[in-house]
Amino acid sequence: MSSVVGEWLIVRYWREDSLVVPIASTQPQIEFSADNRVLVKTGCNSVHSTWTLDPGNNISFTAPVQTMMFCAQPEGVMEQESALASALERSTQVEFSSDRLVLLSDAGDVLIEAEDDSSDAGEAQTA
């Protein structure tokens, strides 16, 4: 990938005060479309927003909108969803390569780290 456009598998995200890995059975994804829409699949509901990216890799998102289905299982999925929406909204910078995308805060803290999800080899890739 030569841009953020595409499907990315979220491997870590900011929750409260540290980076955590997603709940194993949920496999959350973030999808950036060429028409500047973004969709986060959280393992329960989805988060929708739009994005803009400038040449300096500063990224901004409109206020995210979430679907509102209650999900009791797996345990913690609702908290994961809320944390992912918050991380997306706080993101102001992006770093990306062909197989990795990182959304960062103003202070440079990693908020969402994701890997290329365009092939079925996603988890088999090594750095």
SS (H, E, C) 96-118: ECCCEEEEECCCCCEEEEEEECC
pLDDT at residue 98, rounded to an integer: 87
CA distance 53 to 49: 13
β-strands 65-66, 59-61 pairing: unpaired
Prediction pTM value = 0.86
**CATH code for the domain defined by 6-117:** 2.40.128.270
CA distance 53 to 10: 20
The helix or strand, by DSSP H or E, that contains position 93, with its residue range, turns out to be: strand 93-96
Query: pLDDT tens string for the chain (127 positions)?
Result: 458 999 999 999 999 889 999 998 999 999 999 999 999 998 889 999 999 999 999 999 999 998 989 988 889 899 999 999 999 999 999 999 989 999 999 999 999 999 998 754 444 333 3
pLDDT at residue 119, rounded to an integer: 55
Alpha-carbon torsion (59, 3, 46, 111), positive or negative: negative
